[in-house]
Amino acid sequence: MKILKIETFEEDKIVVTVEGYPHAQPVFLADTKAEDLPALLKVWKVRQDAVDLINAQTKIKVAPIISAELKALEGKGI
């Protein structure tokens, strides 16, 4: 895991952009110490991976709708 960017967020927070997580960015208090951030990110990663797993399992798969014109071709010679 690699820290790509750290930016301010609101008045008292920072948001961290982490490689491999374009869909989620952890937010921490702005007074977080540099030596504490790696451990906090490791905990965040474990939790985010669990959320991502749940989200992947609960996605509803929708079958594509076949047009009436295509269905009319069933059973016909070509």
Q: How many Å apart are CA 30 and CA 10, to the nearest integer?
A: 10
**pLDDT computed for residue 38 by the predictor:** 96
Mean pLDDT of 48-66: 87
Mean pLDDT of 51-73: 87
| Domain ranges for the chain | 3-58
**CB distance 20 to 3 below 8 Å:** no
For the CA atoms of 15, 21, 23, 25, what is the dihedral angle to 10 degrees?
Answer: -10
Over residues 21-55, the pLDDT tens digits come to: 999 999 999 999 999 999 999 999 999 999 999 99
